[in-house]
């Protein structure tokens, strides 16, 4: 199957079983495991009529390509994950909060960003199809289930997508060390799409040109930069803090 994708580990498998069980094409569980987490997987799989294959540790190691699978692995039909940006925006009942990842190629960083996005209530993560890490087993593992809950939307033309977001009244806010203001002195818009660039090169020129504002994250120590998922956590957390304060007014 062309769209078949591997998932492994309890977080990724459980999230898939609860969020989209019909997308699971095959599920493998290690023989003779009877701990609580394994029983939970088996019970949910049975409830959703997901067929389970029991395999020994060597077989699971082969399926998971040597990754730490925790005794559970499976394959999903990734085509059943596809979500359009318009579907997300048109069904929101609150101002959009989006995360745009421009040139994030490390699957560990992508997985961590998805986990952060889920924690901060981001409505969708957007990334260009080219020069970006796609969803794979490593991303699902690092995301701890968030890859199954946060819509991850890939687009062929990021600049055009940013223009479309503006038509929805969404402000495009880029993170940049040379930003006009710093994160803690910026009154953020109600509807915002945060743009995070590649750790090495930052945002691409065309992406930067489509930003409505550039915001710097203040640095108070000796390091010159942070991991992109940490930076994303900081800006999303500050956005949520401001939303809570405004809601309480």
Q: Which of 152, 67, 155 is nearest to 113 (CA)?
A: 152
12 burial via Cβ count (<10 Å: 0-12, 13-18, 19+): buried
Residue 197 known to bind ligand: yes
Residue 196 known to bind ligand: no
CA distance 73 to 25: 11
CA distance 229 to 115: 9
Residue 66 known to bind ligand: no
Give exposure, 124-140, as e/b (b: 16+ Cβ within 10 Å): bbbbbeeebbebbbbbb
The position carrying tokens 């803090």 is: 241
Please state whether beta strands 124-128 and 152-155 pair in parallel, antiparallel, or not at all (unpaired).
parallel
CA distance 188 to 179: 14
* Residues tagged in the binding site annotation: 197, 217, 226
List binding-site positions for S-adenosyl-L-methionine.
Answer: 197, 217, 226
């Amino acid at each position: 199957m062309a769209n078949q994708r591997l998932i492994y580990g309890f977080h990724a498998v459980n999230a898939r079983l609860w969020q989209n069980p019909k997308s699971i094409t095959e599920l493998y569980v290690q023989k003779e495991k009877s701990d609580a987490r394994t029983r939970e997987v088996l019970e949910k799989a049975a409830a959703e009529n997901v067929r389970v294959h029991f395999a020994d540790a060597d077989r699971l190691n082969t399926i998971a390509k040597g990754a730490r699978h925790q005794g559970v692995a499976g394959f999903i039909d990734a085509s059943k994950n596809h979500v359009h940006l318009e579907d997300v925006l048109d069904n929101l009942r609150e101002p959009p909060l989006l995360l745009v990842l421009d040139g994030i190629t490390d699957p560990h960083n992508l997985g961590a960003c998805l986990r952060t996005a889920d924690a901060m209530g981001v409505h969708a993560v957007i990334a260009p199809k080219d020069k970006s890490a796609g969803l794979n087993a490593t991303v699902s593992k690092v995301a701890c289930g968030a890859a199954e809950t946060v819509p991850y939307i890939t687009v062929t033309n990021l600049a055009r997508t940013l223009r479309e977001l503006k038509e929805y009244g969404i402000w495009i806010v880029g993170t940049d060390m040379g930003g006009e203001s710093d994160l803690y002195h910026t009154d953020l818009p109600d509807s915002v799409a945060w743009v995070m660039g590649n750790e090495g090169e930052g945002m691409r020129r065309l992406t930067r040109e489509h930003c409505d504002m550039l915001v710097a994250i203040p640095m108070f120590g000796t390091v010159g930069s942070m991991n992109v998922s940490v930076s994303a956590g900081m800006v999303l957390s500050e956005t949520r803090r401001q939303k809570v304060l405004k809601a309480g007014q």
